[in-house]
Chain A
Amino acid sequence: MASMRLDINGRPYTVDVDPQTSLLTVLREYLDLTGSKYGCGEGACGACTVLIDGRAQRSCITRVATVLGKQLTTIEGLASGEQLHPVQEAFLEAGAMQCGYCTSGMIMSAVALLKKTPQPEESDIVNFMNGNICRCGTYPRIVSAIQKAAKVMGSAAAGKGAGR
């Protein structure tokens, strides 16, 4: 057991936990941040995806000791107050879910993709997202949601640029 300080969604948390514990378990069980989901426990489905310093990582195979001093973002920290992130908005608009269990991980992966590749081709989306499973089969809608979000974020960024 060790006392650990974590930076999650811009807030400091302290947990007393075995450093070998998975980040997913810490988030869900110790901090009650249950938006990140368990799906397979081996990093093969993407339901547990969180951002670690902006990069999409599978929290179920990430030991909590390895994320000290890093900035974590989970699905709970994506919206600013009532204002949803454009990717969240786009998932709603595209109806890109059925049961929604994969949605958190899909959105977190998509946010990381758009950070890396702001205007992705369809093949970029398929390649980047291929580690995330949706058993309801809403993949085409997720692709179109990511395209929508890219468009919205692209024009918002252009608007900001013009204002400067």
Chain B
Amino acid sequence: MNKEIASGFILEPERYELSAKAPYRFDLDRREFFKFLGAGVMVVSVLKTASAAQESGGGARRRGESLPTEIDAWLHIGEDGKVTVYTGKVEVGQNIRTSLSQAVSEELHVAIAKIEMVMGDTQLTPFDMGTFGSRTTPTMNLQLRKVAAAARETLIGLAATQWSVDRARLRAADGKVTDTQGNRSVEYGALIKGQQLTKTVASDVALIPAAKWKVAGESAAKVDGRDFVTGKHRYPYDQKLPDMLYGIVVRPDAFNAALVSIDTAKPEAMGAVVVHDGSFVGVAAATSEQARAAAAAVHAEWKADPQVSNKELFDYLRKNTTEGKDPTGDGDRYDVGSVDQAMAAADHKLQQTYTVSYIAHVPLEPRAAVAKWDGDNLTVWTGTQRPFGVRGQLAEAFRIPEDKIRVLMPDTGSAYGGKHTGETAIEAARLARAAKRPVKVTWSREEEFTWAYFRPAGVIDVMSGVKHDGTITAWEFHNYNSGSAGIRTYYEVPNQRIVFHPVNSPLRQGSYRALAATANHFARESHMDELAHVLKMDSLEFRLKNLKDERLRAVFQAAAKKFGWGTSKSEGQGFGMGGGYEKLGNIATFAEVKVDRKSSEVKVVRVVSAFECGAIVNPDNLRNQIEGSNVQGLGGALFEAIEFENGKILNGRMSEYRVPRFADVPSLETVLLDRKDIPSVGAGECPMVGLAPAIANAIFDATGVRLRALPLVPNGLKNS
């Protein structure tokens, strides 16, 4: 069930919410394009697979009037010198609007303020599968740098022709091309006056090496930060259209419930638009209060079969794997050497089970969409990490072609992997079609807690064998349901059996920041500590003894040094570590906890993270992402868990589901290892994975109590 896409990026099986869709084929006519943008220079970046096909003659060479079809980004410079960049990526707080602007600014030698990023608009930007998997920095950042570099070279070429001089003596800087041997320069805008030039990025375009970066590599303020501190920015929840109605969906009282009977006479008498279409029931009215009243007046009866509750969850997961039963339910499996023989010959053996709960993303902005029909053309503004994916869902739901649909994504109030789908887009569009007016649907917090998808819960069994000297000889690892991201061990073990067992989940589940890497690292890094304890070895020494990867060793050593690993501790104090490799980044996290045995309260006092993700693009934003990962990670590590019973969520309110707050935040120290010799990769996910095991290991260090379930201390530490 792994799907590979053009870039070689593998989709993890736990991204359940994603449906495979054929990429949209951009086929805008070149003249039409310039009519839309005005004259200027346009540079497009063509996906590798498509350009390879062209070069081999496998596809028709498209020159002249139309553009290549498999474009992933483009840039336009107008006669006024304005630079507009088009990418299907979206901004959900990871600050790529800024970091991608930096990349363009660096190569094109134009101030960040003169660059406009058009993002996530299915009509204007090239197809993009979605903004997830920490892919923006390793792929889109690089593509845009190439596009900008090609634009820069084109501009220098234009100036060389205009002045009839050798281009080698010309330099691009500060939005101008300057002749280094003559006393003259020309602004980009003036240079391209009257031109209509289209360039495709050559594969050998020269990029500025990271060591020479001036804009990229430095901290840059959020490009439109002022709109956020003044309340001017309009999130999806804030969108408004003339004559717009407010829509509310009437929900079943349990998951998987069937509608038995419905009476909509009352809301209709109240003047509301009422839609009952299959399992969909919704209303729309002129104000949100009228809509709420109308929804409450719908009389609907639902029926659901008994469903699994969180009390019996882990037993259920282990007993309900779908391997072999469902053609899409194949797990991931990795075998090397002979685990059984190695286990039999080991000096020490250890077997333990770890569990993780379902947790919710709780994006502070719940899902929202505004939909508008013009005849059979549909336009939707919504907050999603996959505008093109949502367009596909809309096409499917309404049985209309994708080219009739435009999805726009205003910069959105966070997602964390939770906004890959288009529920509100479909709901708003269905109501708008009936109302013949635009309709806005905004989920309440309770709806967001109930009808979105959750991070998968999971059970993980680990069996290991070690020699007296601390060499790991056997490693067996079974993950039930939570997923396969980060499932393989980076420790050197000659005999391994690692299996992901998919399960038919009782709750709707899907991607969550760092995916199952959080669960798998929690189990692995906890187990490593348990082995070190069995061997009476220092945890760091034991890890390094079994770790060859230089980049990972470097982060463990850097964090240990900053943390002061090996110093003595006081009563109730505990130190622990966790770390690993995920999404091409390397993280080591060290935690200090303070446990009050009387009150059973556990306080995380200090967290030191060392992180390496290749050449750093924006150090301040990188720190912000690492700090954010640690703060958000505290919730899942310490106290977040969705409670459910018989198809109902029991703690689906902000007052009932505890997320990290100011008072929970430890002192956070971050060590950045800048590897200018290694391509930049993403940083929004990896830094999260070391935290939970570091805390669990620190609690053990403080108390001798080994906790093997996330969340670790939802009600404090029970004395044992």
Residue from the list B225, B365, B659, B662 in contact with A97, Cβ < 8 A: B225
Interface residues of B in 271-291 (CB under 8 A from A): 287-289
A75 vs B446: C-alpha distance in the bound complex, in angstroms?
A: 26
Query: Are B228 and A137 in contact (CB-based, < 8 A)?
Result: no
Q: Which residues of A contact B234 (CB under 8 A)?
A: 34
A63 CB to nearest B CB, Å? 12
Secondary structure of the B contact surface, majority rule: loop
Judged by a CB distance under 8 angstroms, whether A57 is at the interface is no
Interface residues of B in 651-700 (CB under 8 A from A): 653-655, 659-663, 665, 668
Q: Which residues of A contact B665 (CB under 8 A)?
A: 137, 139-140
Query: Are A97 and B364 in contact (CB-based, < 8 A)?
Result: no
- Whether A92 contacts B364 in the complex (CB less than 8 A), given A40-B653, A99-B92, A137-B660, comes out as no
Query: Are B628 and A137 in contact (CB-based, < 8 A)?
Result: yes
Judged by a CB distance under 8 angstroms, whether A79 is at the interface is yes
A61 CB to nearest B CB, Å? 11
A150 CB to nearest B CB, Å? 16
B3 CB to nearest A CB, Å? 28
- Whether A41 contacts B228 in the complex (CB less than 8 A), given A99-B413, A101-B365, comes out as no
Judged by a CB distance under 8 angstroms, whether A59 is at the interface is no
Residue from the list A32, A78, A101, A107 in contact with B413, Cβ < 8 A: A101
- Whether A101 contacts B222 in the complex (CB less than 8 A), given A32-B240, A44-B653, A141-B627, comes out as no
Query: Are B288 and A133 in contact (CB-based, < 8 A)?
Result: no
Q: Which residues of B contact A47 (CB under 8 A)?
A: 364
Q: Which residues of B contact A102 (CB under 8 A)?
A: 364
Q: Which residues of B contact A147 (CB under 8 A)?
A: none
Judged by a CB distance under 8 angstroms, whether B632 is at the interface is yes
Interface residues of A in 95-132 (CB under 8 A from B): 95, 97-104, 107, 125-127, 129-132
Query: Are B414 and A38 in contact (CB-based, < 8 A)?
Result: no
Query: Are A92 and B416 in contact (CB-based, < 8 A)?
Result: no
Query: Are A34 and B621 in contact (CB-based, < 8 A)?
Result: no
A35 vs B231: C-alpha distance in the bound complex, in angstroms?
A: 4
A120 CB to nearest B CB, Å? 12
Q: Which B residue's beta carbon lies closest to that of A91?
A: B229
Query: Are A40 and B627 in contact (CB-based, < 8 A)?
Result: no
Judged by a CB distance under 8 angstroms, whether B631 is at the interface is yes
Query: Are A100 and B226 in contact (CB-based, < 8 A)?
Result: no
Query: Are B624 and A84 in contact (CB-based, < 8 A)?
Result: no
Judged by a CB distance under 8 angstroms, whether B620 is at the interface is yes
- Whether A143 contacts B662 in the complex (CB less than 8 A), given A99-B412, A137-B630, comes out as yes
Q: Which residues of A contact B660 (CB under 8 A)?
A: 137, 139
Residue from the list B238, B442, B659 in contact with A135, Cβ < 8 A: B659
A47 vs B238: C-alpha distance in the bound complex, in angstroms?
A: 13
A74 vs B229: C-alpha distance in the bound complex, in angstroms?
A: 12
Q: Which A residue's beta carbon lies closest to that of B229?
A: A88
A-B contact count, CB below 8 Å?
166
Judged by a CB distance under 8 angstroms, whether B230 is at the interface is yes
A68 CB to nearest B CB, Å? 19
Query: Are A78 and B92 in contact (CB-based, < 8 A)?
Result: no
Residue from the list A25, A104, A131 in contact with B231, Cβ < 8 A: A104
**Residue of A76, A88, A99, A129 ringed by the most chain B CB atoms within 10 A:** A99
A131 vs B632: C-alpha distance in the bound complex, in angstroms?
A: 16
- Whether A95 contacts B237 in the complex (CB less than 8 A), given A133-B654, A137-B630, comes out as no
Query: Are B93 and A100 in contact (CB-based, < 8 A)?
Result: yes
Interface residues of B in 429-456 (CB under 8 A from A): 442, 444-445
Q: Which A residue's beta carbon lies closest to that of B230?
A: A79
A35 vs B654: C-alpha distance in the bound complex, in angstroms?
A: 21
Residue from the list A42, A84, A98, A99 in contact with B230, Cβ < 8 A: A84
Judged by a CB distance under 8 angstroms, whether B362 is at the interface is yes
Query: Are B653 and A75 in contact (CB-based, < 8 A)?
Result: no
A157 CB to nearest B CB, Å? 21
Judged by a CB distance under 8 angstroms, whether A23 is at the interface is no
Judged by a CB distance under 8 angstroms, whether B221 is at the interface is yes
Query: Are B662 and A129 in contact (CB-based, < 8 A)?
Result: yes
Q: Which A residue's beta carbon lies closest to that of B413?
A: A101
B679 CB to nearest A CB, Å? 24
Query: Are B628 and A136 in contact (CB-based, < 8 A)?
Result: yes
Query: Are B414 and A98 in contact (CB-based, < 8 A)?
Result: yes
Query: Are A28 and B231 in contact (CB-based, < 8 A)?
Result: no
Judged by a CB distance under 8 angstroms, whether B94 is at the interface is yes
A135 vs B221: C-alpha distance in the bound complex, in angstroms?
A: 20
Q: List chain B positions with a Cβ less than 8 A from chain A.
A: 92-95, 219, 221-222, 225-226, 228-235, 237-238, 240, 246, 287-289, 362-366, 411-414, 416, 442, 444-445, 620-621, 624-625, 627-632, 653-655, 659-663, 665, 668
**Given A95-B621, A99-B411, A136-B93, 11 other A-B residues pairs in contact with their CB atoms under 8 A:** A37-B365, A42-B445, A76-B231, A98-B624, A99-B92, A100-B225, A100-B228, A100-B229, A100-B413, A133-B364, A133-B654
Q: Top 9 nearest A-B pairs by Cβ distance? A: A35-B231, A137-B631, A99-B93, A101-B413, A75-B231, A100-B228, A40-B654, A98-B93, A34-B238
List 25 A-B pairs, Cβ < 8 Å: A35-B230, A38-B442, A39-B654, A40-B654, A41-B444, A75-B230, A78-B230, A92-B229, A95-B620, A95-B624, A98-B95, A99-B93, A99-B414, A100-B225, A100-B411, A101-B414, A126-B662, A126-B663, A127-B663, A130-B662, A133-B364, A133-B654, A136-B631, A139-B662, A143-B662
